[in-house]
Structure 1
Amino acid sequence: MSRALSQISKSPFTRRIEAGRLPQQFTQPTFTMYNGWTDPVEHVSHFNHRMVVHLKNETLMYKVFPSSLGLVAMRWFDGLREGSINSFKELTRVFGSRFVTCSKVPQPLDSLQSMAMGKGETLKTYSNRYWEMFNEIDGDFDNVATRTFKVGLPAKHD
């Protein structure tokens, strides 16, 4: 236990970062805690949006980021080598690398084009399923989306 406590008392941040001062009037926003199972890019994006007025203050960004980590991610953070992190960009890069298996992979356009309303499925259920899939596709396919939605409908839904 003492070895584990010794490890977590060491900072992965360089001395330059550790020496940085936090603003006196800083009030930490509430974050969605990263649980180790969701997309790390989405987590960093959420963190950045919550900290948007402080993006230029790298010291603050480094020091606050660990407070957005849940148990699994905090264990990873505590295991970082002492003095190994020199920038917020580097911190988010190693964070993303560690949790890359949780990254969302955009769906291909084909997955949308192959959708059709199932037998006995309501129009509302089909519509919800279709637009949920549409939101998982990267790119600007608005014109294709409307056409393929209609193609997937049975003829009775003219």
Structure 2
Amino acid sequence: MTNMSRSPFTYEIEQTEPPRKFSMPYFISFKGDGDSKKHLKHYRNTMVIYQNNDALMCKIFATTLQSEAQDWFHTLLPRSIRNFDDLSLIFTKEYSSYYLIKKKFDHLFNVKKNPKELLRDYVKRIKAEKAKIVGCNNSIASATF
């Protein structure tokens, strides 16, 4: 366990206790191989009623990290995090290469059926790619099919 002198949080954050009756919400863990913006958005939405409590936002966010992301967190300089904005910024910078690139409907024109692929498998792939496109309706997907 990391002692407080090695914590990336300021003393003020470390010393802050959670509010009475605080109950830990459920979070999707971030392991370092996903979209950091999506994780941050999920976290902020889940913690919306505590958004004005910077110390709590920082301390609880650290518990949502696992594996490589947890290892990264423990490499942060001691006392370098003063607030949740600082933490959010360095987190998104560290994992910016994992952002999901939003695709446009014309992406579906590039999804070709492989000669030995079953039609049902091809349709599954088309549907999976369609799900990655914001605002793609069925008529557009049908036209590209």
> How does the TM-score come out when normalised to structure 2?
0.79
Task: Please say if 1:75 is aligned against 2:71.
Answer: yes
- In the alignment, what sits opposite 2:11? 15
User: Is the 1:130–1:149 Cα contact (8 Å) retained in structure 2?
Assistant: no
- The 5 A counterparts of 1:95-106 are 95-106=91-102
Q: Structure 1: any 5+ residue segments left out of the alignment?
A: 153-158
- In the alignment, what sits opposite 2:105? 109
Return the offset for 1:68. 0.7
Structure 1 residue identity aligned to 2:56: L
Structure 1 residue identity aligned to 2:99: S
Task: Please say if 1:37 is aligned against 2:37.
Answer: no
Return the offset for 1:134. 2.1
Return the offset for 1:63. 0.9
- In the alignment, what sits opposite 1:146? 139
Q: Please give the alpha-carbon distance, in whole angstroms, between the structure 2 residues aligned to 1:30 and 1:147.
A: 37
- In the alignment, what sits opposite 1:50? 46
- In the alignment, what sits opposite 1:65? 61
- In the alignment, what sits opposite 2:21? 25
Residues paired across the two proteins, number: 144
Task: Please say if 1:92 is aligned against 2:88.
Answer: yes
% identical aligned pairs: 26
Q: Please give the alpha-carbon distance, in whole angstroms, between the structure 2 residues aligned to 1:96 and 1:85.
A: 14
Q: Structure 2: any 5+ residue segments left out of the alignment?
A: none
Structure 1 residue identity aligned to 2:36: P
- Over the residues paired in the alignment, what is the CA RMSD in angstroms? 2.7
Return the offset for 1:148. 4.3
User: Is the 1:113–1:148 Cα contact (8 Å) retained in structure 2?
Assistant: no
Q: Please give the alpha-carbon distance, in whole angstroms, between the structure 2 residues aligned to 1:87 and 1:69.
A: 17
Which structure has the bigger radius of gyration?
Answer: 1
Q: Deviations over 1:87-109 (max 9, x none)?
A: 21221121111122222222243
Return the offset for 1:78. 1.1
Q: Please give the alpha-carbon distance, in whole angstroms, between the structure 2 residues aligned to 1:23 and 1:84.
A: 24
User: Is the 2:9–2:80 Cα contact (8 Å) retained in structure 1?
Assistant: yes
Q: Please give the alpha-carbon distance, in whole angstroms, between the structure 1 residues aligned to 2:29 and 2:106.
A: 34
User: Is the 2:105–2:140 Cα contact (8 Å) retained in structure 1?
Assistant: no
> How does the TM-score come out when normalised to structure 1?
0.73
